[in-house]
Amino acid sequence: MTDIAQITDSHCHLDFPDFEGELDQVIARAAEAGVTRMVTICTKLVNEPSVRVIAEAHDPVFYAAATHPMSVGKEPMARFDQLVEIAKHPKMVGIGETGLDYHYTAESAEEQQESLRIHCAAAHATGLPLIIHSRDADDDMARILSEEHANGAFDCVMHCFSSTEALAKAALDLGFYLSMSGIATFPKSQELRDIFAAAPLDRILVETDSPYLAPPPHRGKRNEPAFSALTAKVGAEIFGLDYPAFAARTQANFERLFAKAAAWQKEGVA
């Protein structure tokens, strides 16, 4: 396995019922594919303890936590002090996913914006990167991220990026990262691939967003961290690199952005 290029699945949901009873096998298959590290995302703060346990139980797994924008209207508003306290855990490496979703939950737009600003402040205070979900909210997203970054700088990744060229430019201009999911591998996603191709290579991550958005040949089936290698192979084609070279660049990008995860591994904490 030492000759397999290593990559990181920077965004997955290992606590979802889709993986119940299979985590050991899922993580083993990821390792066989060269996916030696993954960040599992807590989307409701009430579930943070159970997500934390997964990260504690599996060396390759780190976690992030937030209130997902689609949950803002139904869950208690995240508190700044709550996020800062959670961030003290050694394997908690990101604030997210937070953001705006006007496609499914436009009725809670005002609350989503308030929640997003709280998470931005927590990212600034903790030094952890913000993980953003954005759907049908490009103008408000660009405006709020710009305003909050001016109030107190923070790092950020636009998770599962599939928005417009304008939002990509706004994010990149702030020094943020774009994460490539299985959507970038779909046949009808050439416009999205062109957006990635125009971005700096040192701002690109790969992810699955599993159990969703499986790339071919698994499209329509349950996604899992091992399949981020399939997305990364398309990423290599987009940037005109061989797979090991692209994998190495995305690894360096992940370790720059998620410095806490990189430091944890280097210190040999287990």
Q: Is residue 115 within a helix (H) or strand (E), and if so which, with residue range?
A: helix 109-126
**Closest listed residue to residue 157, CA positions, set 104, 95, 112:** 95
Please state, in angstroms and rounded to a whole number, the distance separating the CA atoms of residues 17 and 26: 13
Question: What b-and-e string marks burial along 156-183, b requiring 16 or more CB atoms within 10 Å of the CB?
Answer: bbbbbbbbbeebbebbbebebbbbbbbb
**Which domains are delineated in the chain?**
7-265 (3.20.20.140)
Residue 84 sits at φ, ψ, to 5 deg, of -65, -40
Question: Which pLDDT score is estimated for 267?
Answer: 67
CA 55 to chain centre: 15
Question: Which pLDDT score is estimated for 48?
Answer: 97
The answer to whether the Cα torsion of 198, 117, 134, 202 is positive or negative is: positive
Question: Which pLDDT score is estimated for 252?
Answer: 98
Question: Which pLDDT score is estimated for 1?
Answer: 42
Q: Is residue 267 within a helix (H) or strand (E), and if so which, with residue range?
A: none
- pLDDT tens-digit readout, 165-214: 999 999 999 999 999 999 999 999 999 999 999 999 999 999 999 999 99
| Structure token pair of residue 264 | 């944890």
DSSP E strands, the chain: 7-12, 35-42, 61-65, 92-101, 130-135, 156-158, 177-180, 204-206
Q: Is residue 121 within a helix (H) or strand (E), and if so which, with residue range?
A: helix 109-126
CB 147 within 8 A of CB 139: no
pLDDT higher than threshold 90 for residue 27: yes
DSSP-derived 3-state class of residue 99: strand
Question: Which pLDDT score is estimated for 3?
Answer: 78
- pLDDT tens-digit readout, 138-168: 999 999 999 999 999 999 999 999 999 999 9
- pLDDT tens-digit readout, 39-94: 999 999 999 999 999 999 999 999 999 999 999 999 999 999 999 999 999 999 99
Chain-wide mean pLDDT for the chain? 96
Please state, in angstroms and rounded to a whole number, the distance separating the CA atoms of residues 182 and 207: 8
Percent of the chain with pLDDT over 70: 97
| Structure token pair of residue 25 | 């096998």
Question: Which pLDDT score is estimated for 270?
Answer: 40
pLDDT higher than threshold 70 for residue 225: yes
pLDDT higher than threshold 70 for residue 268: no
Residues 6+ apart with CB under 8 A from 182: 208, 209, 213, 214, 215, 219, 223, 227, 230, 231
Question: Which pLDDT score is estimated for 266?
Answer: 66
pLDDT higher than threshold 90 for residue 99: yes
CB 30 within 8 A of CB 60: yes
